[in-house]
A = this chain, B = another copy of it.
Amino acid sequence: MAARNVLFIMCDQLRWDHLGCAGHPHLRTPNLDRLAARGVRFDHAYVQSGICGPSRMSFYTGRYVASHGATHNRVPLSVGEVTLGWHLRESGRTLALAGKTHMLPDSHGMKRLLLDGQDELAVLLREGWFTLLDRHDGHHAETQSAYAHWLRAQGYDSADPWTDYVIAATDTDGSIRNGWKMRHARLPARVREEHSETAYTTDQALRFIEAQGDTPWVLHLSYVKPHWPYIAPAPYHAMYGPEHALPVRRHAVERGSNAHPVLREFQEEEVAQSFQNDACIEAVRPTYMGLITQVDDHLGRVWDLLERMGRWEDTLVVFTSDHGDYLGDHWLGEKELFHDCVQRVPMIMYDPSPDADATRGTVEPRFVEAIDLVPTFLDALGLPEAPHVLEGRSLLGLTRGTATAWREAAISELDITFRAARRRLGLPTGQHRGFMLRTAEWKYIHWTSGLAPQLYDLRADPDEFFDLGTDPAHEATRVAMRERLLDWATNLKCRTTLTWAEAEFRTDRHKAAGVFYGEW
């Protein structure tokens, strides 16, 4: 049977290599491993920017960052851009949300268009065309959110139960510790596991799916974890130890005098300084792993409900993440730059069609991108695919083995304007952008603002330690990479106001339209 429903699951800040099925030797993710066994695991899935806001806007618009323009966190998505929710709505469908989107409304644009009211349209625009079950973006203390109210109803007596319980920890002597401080990462959260963000968001999703019965639905189940604050409820806080963590990938050369100036300045940011302390890495990594197993456990509840309702027959299920996490690799914390531990994400897709039976349980090595999901969902549901605006490609061609030519590189972008690092680099306010082109053999990074490029030979240097960006021996490779970036940039889809059918209809029509060229 073709898909009638879509379950689009996202984690926040989950590295590609932190899954059992991706080869992590100690991390337990049995439910995600089951999903991979039922579907296809895309082993080279890349986001379009290594930070929440722009990455998610690419997931939701199906467009590169250069096209949608929301280049960093807290940069609003233009009112002129459309998202999955709009594409579904055009076909009479609805996109439900449980959890995080990081969507920020275009207040200037909405004001200009007199759309800054409180009507349904204004609400949809503010939410990027998601219909909320409950939006919970995490890491913002919200005292009046539905989650805060619910926690108080469960007995957490606080004006701000998120700060006081969810991300606060109980020390061994019973004292309360601040979860923003990573030195407390090994302590258990004060919130009970069944009241944690992961449990709460899962509950929303389960209630929604159950309530739909046999009515078709599209749901974005969007967890805020394992994103910091790195505080896990018991028993997940103590499930893993430093001995279970992946080895830290960093090299003295990355801190040397020849390090790229952007890398160097990001290493000077406070969070990177923290992760240059081994004690920080040893505290955070086990808890990060625990938070992942917690998500996996709750996904088991989702799988069970799908089973009970027969929804595996008609539901396309995708699991992915908006970006990874340095966790101390490359002398960095957090995310943003172009190393694989940030840009490469888990992506597992279960396609219910019998046409996908041949690929079940396989690992797909070709490059897929975040922007591929919107076209995939529209394709799976049999809805118009909007190639005049969408820049990704339906992945059904891979799950069903029908794709012939496929892309041979992934692209990601970054705007460093909003970082103190930008000021330290002496760059004025403006746009200061990086562009990654990642092939099987090379990673090339083009920077604007007069900054030197970066180049990594991934065959010889899979850990991306040795920057060949100014090595004279590799000029030909850099030129070739820039040529590919130019091809990419000149093929971005800027003409979004006409469908391709309209464009075809209008081709060679100037006479039919009553506009003539002079004739002899």
Q: Which residues of A contact B (CB under 8 A)?
A: 65-72, 74-82, 86, 106, 108-109, 112-115, 121, 125, 139-141, 180-183, 228-230, 270-271, 273-274, 277, 279-280, 284, 333-334, 387, 415, 417-420, 422-423, 429-431, 433, 435, 446, 448, 479, 482-483, 485-487, 489-498, 500-501, 503-504, 506-509, 513-520
A173 → chain B closest CB, angstroms:
20
C-alpha gap A452/B459 in the complex (Å): 32
Q: Which residues of B have CB within 8 Å of A497?
A: 69-70, 75-78, 106, 108-109
The answer to whether A113 and B121 touch across the interface, beta carbons within 8 angstroms, is yes
Most buried by B among A277, A429, A489, A490: A490
The answer to whether B514 and A82 touch across the interface, beta carbons within 8 angstroms, is no
C-alpha gap A492/B430 in the complex (Å): 11
Partner of A280, one of B75, B435, B520: B520
The answer to whether B66 and A517 touch across the interface, beta carbons within 8 angstroms, is no
The answer to whether B418 and A495 touch across the interface, beta carbons within 8 angstroms, is no
C-alpha gap A91/B273 in the complex (Å): 45
Q: Which residues of B have CB within 8 Å of A519?
A: 180-182, 270-271, 274
The answer to whether B229 and A431 touch across the interface, beta carbons within 8 angstroms, is no
Q: Which residues of B have CB within 8 Å of A71?
A: 494-495
Q: Which residues of B have CB within 8 Å of A181?
A: 518-520
Q: Which residues of B have CB within 8 Å of A431?
A: 491, 493-495
Q: Which residues of B have CB within 8 Å of A125?
A: 113
Residue of B nearest to A120 (CB): B114
The answer to whether A180 and B82 touch across the interface, beta carbons within 8 angstroms, is no
C-alpha gap A376/B74 in the complex (Å): 30
The answer to whether B429 and A503 touch across the interface, beta carbons within 8 angstroms, is yes
C-alpha gap A437/B243 in the complex (Å): 57
The answer to whether B113 and A79 touch across the interface, beta carbons within 8 angstroms, is yes
A131 → chain B closest CB, angstroms:
16
The answer to whether B496 and A69 touch across the interface, beta carbons within 8 angstroms, is yes
The answer to whether B112 and A419 touch across the interface, beta carbons within 8 angstroms, is no
Besides A80-B80, A419-B507, A485-B486, 20 other A-B contacts (C-beta < 8 A):
A68-B494, A74-B506, A74-B513, A76-B497, A76-B498, A77-B497, A78-B80, A78-B496, A139-B515, A181-B519, A228-B518, A270-B519, A271-B518, A417-B507, A420-B508, A423-B508, A429-B501, A429-B503, A429-B504, A448-B490
Residue of B nearest to A494 (CB): B69
Q: Which residues of B have CB within 8 Å of A114?
A: 121
Q: Which residues of B have CB within 8 Å of A115?
A: 113
The answer to whether A433 and B490 touch across the interface, beta carbons within 8 angstroms, is yes
Using known A-B contacts A67-B494, A109-B497, determine if residue A517 contacts B420 with beta carbons closer than 8 Å: no
The answer to whether A448 and B507 touch across the interface, beta carbons within 8 angstroms, is no
Partner of A422, one of B277, B333, B430, B507: B507
Residue of B nearest to A433 (CB): B490
The answer to whether A518 and B141 touch across the interface, beta carbons within 8 angstroms, is no
C-alpha gap A259/B166 in the complex (Å): 70
17 A–B contacts from the bound complex (CB under 8 Å)? A67-B494, A72-B495, A140-B514, A140-B515, A180-B518, A230-B518, A271-B519, A417-B503, A419-B507, A423-B507, A429-B500, A429-B503, A429-B504, A430-B500, A431-B494, A446-B490, A448-B491
Most buried by B among A70, A180, A494: A494
Partner of A520, one of B66, B277, B415, B492: B277
Residue of B nearest to A181 (CB): B519
Residue of B nearest to A387 (CB): B430
A466 → chain B closest CB, angstroms:
24
Those 8 A-B pairs whose CB atoms lie nearest each other, nearest first: A80-B80, A489-B489, A274-B520, A420-B508, A76-B497, A69-B494, A271-B517, A429-B504
Q: Which residues of B have CB within 8 Å of A508?
A: 418-420, 423
Q: Which residues of B have CB within 8 Å of A140?
A: 514-515
Q: Which residues of B have CB within 8 Å of A76?
A: 497-498
C-alpha gap A487/B490 in the complex (Å): 12
Residue of B nearest to A179 (CB): B518
